[in-house]
Each structure stands twice: as structure tokens, then as C-alpha cells.
Chains A and B, each alone.
Chain A
Amino acid sequence: MVDIALDIKGLYKTYSDGKVKALNGVDLTIYKGEIFGLLGPNGAGKSTLINVLTTLANKTSGEIIINGLDFAKFPSEAKTYLGVVPQEFNFHWFEKVEDIVVQQAGYYGMPAGEAKERAEILLKRLGLWDKKDTVSMKLSGGMKRRLMIVRALIHKPEILILDEPSAGVDVDLRREMWEFVRELNQEGVTIILTTHYLEEAENLCDRVGIINKGNILEIGTVKALLSELKKDTLVLDTVGEIKGLPKRYRVIEEGRLETDLLQGEDLYTITNELHSKGLQVTGIRNKTNRLEEVFINKVKD
């Protein structure tokens, strides 16, 4: 039997004016040891769901079970399982890096000596040890993001929630962070992340859930979701004069075509057909991120 890290049943959140139903009966199960991605457009309910999970928003109704503990009955115990990396930097500008981390450990009841030892390990691991005496306002954006992760991990949480971890981060750092998240996951930490970067979800997540207007529209492995696509739109770079091509090919510009590869169809059919028309195919690529296509279809529905 696979252990459940987080079980959400019938979760509703209506904001106090009663007009905005941010969560509309969300049911979601996240298993121990997986990386789960929560995808959705702005205002879909991703952040509300995270806020309810972390008690920054009060739920209207529903049940949240963390590691078998009912959050409503055992909030203090349940909170110790969670580490949270919020979207916005929220540490004090004038506090030093090490102090910020040790302080956070204090909120979880960790003695200062133990907190300092663990802070050293984590700060070294995320390349911030030489900045331990630097005030946070002097850190670069990437360093601040890493500091947020160190802070969230200081009390050894079993579930790490990352709210848009790559927002405003350059490509190199994003890839470094993915690597670190994978490492953490291999060490047994369950990861829940919300993201706008569908590439991030496709690369990192074992399963993804698509949320829109407070409803979970689809949950599944990335592979299963992608298999729903009936076709892939391909962009082909060609050499030769384009004329007399069948209707399935759309000319984008001189030397560039677009066509749909249907599920089960052999790519050779296309290259062979173009070759017979005097065209040499020099490059093939997907027109769009495939997960993005699934996502758009789901949200559009």
C-alpha cells in the first residue's frame, strides 16, 4: 500500500464577502515521496489551496489529513510535517542570513545549538554559507530564493510546499533548483509545487493536478496526461522549393512548414512524403510544449 502524505476531501473556501468561491470542493490525494505539481491560470485557486493547507487562510469546510493526522484536530502536530516556501520574499531586510534560519527553527521548538548545526549544513548545501553574516537585503534574487528554501527545510519537514519556486529566477538557477528538489525528493521529502512554468512541471513532477475556478479538473501522471493528446503539431525546416504539397502541410514561411502528427502515425510517413516532393527535412521540433497544450485544452473546457 502506498502511504498518503496529504489527503484533502471536499475542501471549500468562500471568501468572507460570500461572492468568491475560491475552492469548490477540492478532493486531492498526494502520496509520500512524490513530486506533485499544481497547475492553473492566475486566480484558479492554487495559492488559496496552499494558504488553506498552511493555515494562512481559513477553510470554509472540508477535511485535510496530513500524514494521517486530522489538521483540524491536531494543527500543531500537523504543521511540523510541513515546510513552506512562499512566493514572495518575506524575511526582514536587516536580519542576517544565519539568524533568519535559526529563528525559523526556534518557531518549531528546535534548540539553538541544533538549529545552528543544521543551518550550516543547509546553507553550505545551497551555496549560502559564505553569506551567513550578510543581511538579507544584500542578497541577489536567486540567493534570496535559496534562503527561503533553507528556511523552510530547517525543521526537517516531510512535505515541502513550494509556491511558484521559479518565479523571477534565471534559467541556470531554475535548473539548479530543479536538481536540488529532485535530490530532496530522493531523500524522501514529498514535494508539492505550484508553477506557471509547464516545462517545470513536465520535467520535475511525477503527477500533476490542473486546477481552474476552484475545481480540480484533472489529476494524473504527466505521461498519462500527455497521452490524451491526439496529435502533436510539428514544425519542419526544409530545403527545396515548396509546391504541390498535400493539405496537411501549412506553410509558415519559405523553408518552414507545419503539420500534425496523429497519435500512432509514423514520423517516416511525413519525411518520406516531403522527400518525394523534392524537399529535404533538416529539422523537426514540437510547435508547443505538449503539457501546455493539455493544460490549455483542460482550462478551455
Chain B
Amino acid sequence: MKAPIWIPLYTIVNKEMIRIFRIWTQTLLPSVITTSLYFLIFGSFVGSQIQDIQGVSYMQFIVPGLVMMAIITNAFMNVVGSFFGAKLSKGIEDTLVSPTPNWVIVWGYVIGGVVRGLVVGVLVLIISLLFTKLTIVNLWAVILFSVLTAVVFSLGGLMNAVFAKKFDHTAIVPTFVLTPLTYLGGVFYSVNALPEFWQNISKFNPILYMVNGFRYGFFGISDVNIGISVTILIMLVLVLSITDLMLLRRGVGLRS
């Protein structure tokens, strides 16, 4: 009789949960502190000098972007750190020699990344309430965009971990790709305020769609079409899932 598949999936997810909450000062706290500083400096000090954007205060405007930034960073870093750590210590070999299917390995780690991303996102959201009031006009949009974004970056983190050969390699994408794309993805400003050329360039940045979709859930405002945003996110989930599965199937970075 074939063993139930939920057991290995639960095993990986449970292992990830234990890791995340055991070292919470490394996994949960840093983003909360950093975004609190953003709220304080950009929201309270600088934001008070900036006029409302599309009918909401600057402080309110940046909250969804900063929450999304925390989700993106934590989802990505959780999977890249955990999977690469397992690769380096050869602990991943226990999973590879077992009958656990590749898709269970991928989604076990992705669920871990999603949970960390969302837990940090909720913590940042709670901190933001100390600085401003928030409304939610579309809860489903908030949930959909936060979960899909966490999934996309968890899948991306796994891909990074698969290719990484040393710890330095796990920092390249966050430093040179994620951070610039996040800052240029409309976290601190509306892209409508940019010159047309830069508006068009911004449309190639997937984070723009994530931030605006998420912001739409709170205030009902967005610089981009929500339908297009959802489609882009679903496409990214599909492409990254298939790529990760192919990488694991071929054993790239894992099997000699």
C-alpha cells in the first residue's frame, strides 16, 4: 500500500515551522524592526510633508508596499536559507533518498516560505496601526495578492538555493535583484507620478503589480489593472513551479 503523501509534506512543513519559530530573532524580528523605522522616518517624519496620493495619506499609501516588501524578502530568504543550508549540510540527502516526490519537496519548502512571509507581513501590518489607520475595501484581494506573492518568491528562493554553491550566492539575488525591483516597484510612490518613459519601464517590474494589487485591497486604488496583476502572478507561479520541479527532477545542484 502506498504511504499517504500528506505525511512527508507535513514533515517538511513542520520542520520549517520549528526552524522559523526557534530562531524567531533571526527570522521574524529583523523585518519588523526595519519596517518600523521606515514607518517612523518615511511615514511620520518625511510623509507629513508630502501631500495625499489618490486620496490617501502618504503614511497610509506606503503601508501596503512595506508589508509587501516584508513578505517578499522573508518568503525568499526563508526558502533560500533553509534549502541551501540543507544542501550544504547534506541534510537534504535524507529527503532525496526517500520516496518523497519532488513536488512534495518543492511545496514543503514553499509553504514554509509562505508562512514566514505572511507571519512577518501580519506583524508589520500590526506595527503600522501604531502610525496610521487602515481600511480594507477588498479582503480577498489582500489575501490573494499576499499569498500569491509569497508563493512566487518562495519558488524563486528555491531556485536560487538550487543553483547556489556557497552562502555568498544566496545573497546575490536579494541584493542585486529583489531590493532594486522592490524599491522601484511603487512601494514609496505612485508610478503615475513618473514621466511616461519611466512609467513604461516600471511596467516590466512584476513587483509593481504585486504592490498595487495588494494596495487595491486596502484602498481600492491601483496604478495598474488588477486583472492583469492576478494573471501575471498566476503565470509566475506556474512558470516557477514547473522550473523548480524540472531542476529537482534533473538533480541540478543536488545530484552529481
Contacting pair A55 B96 (CB below 8 A)? yes
Contacting pair A57 B91 (CB below 8 A)? no
Residues on the A chain within 8 Å of B97, using CB: 54-56, 79, 82, 84
Residues on the A chain within 8 Å of B255, using CB: 55-58
Residues on the B chain within 8 Å of A15, using CB: 256
The contact size tier of chain B is 20 to 34
Residues on the B chain within 8 Å of A57, using CB: 255-256
- Asked if B57 lies at the interface with its beta carbon under 8 angstroms from chain A, I say no
Min CB–CB distance A61 → chain B (angstroms): 16
Residues on the B chain within 8 Å of A103, using CB: 11, 15
CA gap between A102 and B57 in the complex, in Å: 52
- Asked if B46 lies at the interface with its beta carbon under 8 angstroms from chain A, I say no
CA gap between A186 and B251 in the complex, in Å: 36
- Contact code string A81-125 (vs B, CB < 8 Å = 1, else 0): 010101010111010000100011011111100000000000000
- Asked if B100 lies at the interface with its beta carbon under 8 angstroms from chain A, I say yes
Segment 78-110 of B: residues with Cβ below 8 Å from A: 89-91, 93-101
Contacting pair A92 B95 (CB below 8 A)? no
Residues on the B chain within 8 Å of A199, using CB: none
Contacting pair A107 B251 (CB below 8 A)? no
Closest to B85 in A: A92
The contact size tier of chain A is 20 to 34
Segment 23-59 of A: residues with Cβ below 8 Å from B: 51, 54-58
Min CB–CB distance B53 → chain A (angstroms): 46
- Asked if A77 lies at the interface with its beta carbon under 8 angstroms from chain B, I say yes
- Asked if A80 lies at the interface with its beta carbon under 8 angstroms from chain B, I say yes
Contacting pair B7 A51 (CB below 8 A)? no
CA gap between A189 and B97 in the complex, in Å: 18
- Asked if B140 lies at the interface with its beta carbon under 8 angstroms from chain A, I say no
Contacting pair B99 A79 (CB below 8 A)? yes
Contacting pair A104 B7 (CB below 8 A)? no
Residues on the B chain within 8 Å of A88, using CB: 90
- Asked if B4 lies at the interface with its beta carbon under 8 angstroms from chain A, I say yes
Min CB–CB distance A38 → chain B (angstroms): 18
Residues on the B chain within 8 Å of A51, using CB: 256
Contacting pair B93 A86 (CB below 8 A)? yes
Contacting pair B101 A91 (CB below 8 A)? no
Min CB–CB distance A147 → chain B (angstroms): 12
Segment 125-171 of B: residues with Cβ below 8 Å from A: none
Contacting pair B7 A106 (CB below 8 A)? yes
- Asked if A76 lies at the interface with its beta carbon under 8 angstroms from chain B, I say yes
Contacting pair A107 B11 (CB below 8 A)? yes
Return the contact of A94 from the options B22, B90, B95, B256 (Cβ within 8 A): B22
Closest to B91 in A: A90
Residues on the B chain within 8 Å of A56, using CB: 93, 96-97, 255-256
Return the contact of A92 from the options B7, B10, B89 (Cβ within 8 A): B89
- Asked if B33 lies at the interface with its beta carbon under 8 angstroms from chain A, I say no
Min CB–CB distance B87 → chain A (angstroms): 11
Contacting pair A107 B8 (CB below 8 A)? yes
CA gap between A108 and B98 in the complex, in Å: 6
* Residues of B near any A CB (own CB < 8 A): 2-5, 7-8, 10-11, 14-15, 18, 22, 89-91, 93-101, 250-251, 255-256
The 3 A-B pairs of least Cβ separation, nearest first, read A109-B3, A106-B11, A107-B98
For the A-B complex with A56-B96, A90-B91 known, give 6 more contacts whose Cβ atoms are closer than 8 Å.
A75-B99, A79-B97, A92-B91, A103-B15, A106-B10, A109-B99
